Amino acid sequence: DAGITQSPRHKVTETGTPVTLRCHQTENHRYMYWYRQDPGHGLRLIHYSYGVKDTDKGEVSDGYSVSRSKTEDFLLTLESATSSQTSVYFCAISGIADEQFFGPGTRLTVL
Protein backbone atom coordinates (compact mmCIF):
# COMPACT_ATOMS: atom_id res chain seq x y z
CA ASP A 1 0.00 0.00 0.00
CA ALA A 2 1.13 3.54 -0.80
CA GLY A 3 2.21 5.43 2.32
CA ILE A 4 -0.54 7.99 2.65
CA THR A 5 -2.08 9.15 5.89
CA GLN A 6 -4.82 11.67 6.53
CA SER A 7 -5.58 13.51 9.73
CA PRO A 8 -7.92 13.80 11.38
CA ARG A 9 -9.94 10.78 10.29
CA HIS A 10 -13.15 12.24 11.71
CA LYS A 11 -14.10 15.79 12.61
CA VAL A 12 -17.24 17.55 13.69
CA THR A 13 -17.21 21.32 13.57
CA GLU A 14 -19.59 24.25 13.54
CA THR A 15 -20.56 26.50 10.69
CA GLY A 16 -18.19 29.42 10.30
CA THR A 17 -15.16 27.83 11.92
CA PRO A 18 -11.91 27.23 10.02
CA VAL A 19 -10.86 23.65 9.41
CA THR A 20 -7.58 22.22 8.13
CA LEU A 21 -7.16 18.68 6.89
CA ARG A 22 -3.73 17.18 6.46
CA CYS A 23 -2.42 14.67 3.96
CA HIS A 24 1.02 13.14 4.48
CA GLN A 25 2.86 10.84 2.06
CA THR A 26 6.07 8.86 2.39
CA GLU A 27 6.37 7.99 -1.32
CA ASN A 28 8.03 11.21 -2.50
CA HIS A 29 5.43 11.50 -5.28
CA ARG A 30 5.21 14.78 -7.14
CA TYR A 31 1.44 15.05 -7.54
CA MET A 32 -1.06 15.31 -4.71
CA TYR A 33 -4.82 15.76 -4.90
CA TRP A 34 -7.77 16.56 -2.67
CA TYR A 35 -11.18 15.09 -3.53
CA ARG A 36 -14.55 15.13 -1.88
CA GLN A 37 -16.98 12.26 -2.17
CA ASP A 38 -20.72 12.75 -1.86
CA PRO A 39 -23.64 10.44 -2.65
CA GLY A 40 -24.76 10.91 -6.24
CA HIS A 41 -21.70 12.91 -7.18
CA GLY A 42 -18.86 10.44 -6.91
CA LEU A 43 -15.34 11.73 -6.50
CA ARG A 44 -14.83 15.40 -7.33
CA LEU A 45 -11.47 17.14 -7.48
CA ILE A 46 -11.08 20.15 -5.18
CA HIS A 47 -7.45 21.18 -5.65
CA TYR A 48 -4.25 19.51 -6.73
CA SER A 49 -0.54 20.13 -6.47
CA TYR A 50 2.16 19.42 -9.03
CA GLY A 51 5.08 20.34 -6.78
CA VAL A 52 6.09 22.26 -3.69
CA LYS A 53 4.22 25.56 -3.69
CA ASP A 54 2.61 24.67 -7.06
CA THR A 55 -1.14 24.20 -6.77
CA ASP A 56 -4.17 24.64 -8.95
CA LYS A 57 -7.95 24.50 -8.72
CA GLY A 58 -10.10 21.54 -9.51
CA GLU A 59 -13.77 21.15 -10.30
CA VAL A 60 -15.17 22.25 -6.91
CA SER A 61 -12.61 24.63 -5.41
CA ASP A 62 -14.88 27.39 -4.10
CA GLY A 63 -14.59 27.72 -0.32
CA TYR A 64 -11.34 25.74 -0.15
CA SER A 65 -7.67 26.63 -0.16
CA VAL A 66 -4.57 24.45 -0.16
CA SER A 67 -0.92 24.70 0.64
CA ARG A 68 2.10 22.53 -0.02
CA SER A 69 5.29 23.70 1.68
CA LYS A 70 6.95 20.27 1.64
CA THR A 71 6.81 17.38 -0.82
CA GLU A 72 5.25 15.11 1.76
CA ASP A 73 2.46 17.35 3.07
CA PHE A 74 -0.62 18.77 1.37
CA LEU A 75 -3.05 20.78 3.49
CA LEU A 76 -6.68 21.52 2.69
CA THR A 77 -8.27 24.45 4.50
CA LEU A 78 -11.90 25.41 4.77
CA GLU A 79 -11.64 29.07 5.75
CA SER A 80 -15.20 29.24 7.09
CA ALA A 81 -16.91 25.87 7.06
CA THR A 82 -20.48 25.57 5.77
CA SER A 83 -22.94 22.70 6.01
CA SER A 84 -22.55 22.06 2.27
CA GLN A 85 -18.94 21.08 2.98
CA THR A 86 -20.04 18.11 5.05
CA SER A 87 -18.46 15.28 3.10
CA VAL A 88 -15.78 12.63 3.03
CA TYR A 89 -12.45 14.04 1.88
CA PHE A 90 -9.80 11.94 0.22
CA CYS A 91 -6.22 12.74 -0.53
CA ALA A 92 -4.47 11.00 -3.42
CA ILE A 93 -0.94 10.90 -4.78
CA SER A 94 0.64 9.96 -8.08
CA GLY A 95 4.10 9.73 -9.50
CA ILE A 96 4.94 9.77 -13.19
CA ALA A 97 2.05 7.56 -14.35
CA ASP A 98 -1.69 8.12 -14.39
CA GLU A 99 -2.28 5.84 -11.41
CA GLN A 100 -3.44 7.59 -8.27
CA PHE A 101 -3.29 6.12 -4.79
CA PHE A 102 -5.75 7.20 -2.17
CA GLY A 103 -5.57 7.83 1.53
CA PRO A 104 -8.08 6.46 4.04
CA GLY A 105 -10.27 9.58 4.04
CA THR A 106 -11.50 12.17 6.52
CA ARG A 107 -15.17 12.30 7.41
CA LEU A 108 -16.10 15.94 8.09
CA THR A 109 -19.42 17.03 9.55
CA VAL A 110 -20.29 20.72 9.67
CA LEU A 111 -23.19 21.48 12.01
62 lines the binding site for another protein (CB under 8 A): no
How many angstroms separate the CA atoms of 109 and 106, rounded? 10
| Euclidean distance between CA atoms 44 and 109, whole angstroms | 18
- Closest CB 88 distance from another protein, rounded Å: 9
By CB under 8 A, name the one of 48, 60, 64, 68 that touches another protein: 48
Pick the closer one to another protein by CB: 43 or 75. 43
Three-state DSSP class for 105?
coil
CA angle 15, 17, 18 (to 5 degrees): 130
- Residues lying near another protein in the complex (CB under 8 A) are found at 31, 33, 40-43, 45, 48, 50, 56, 58-59, 90, 94, 97-105
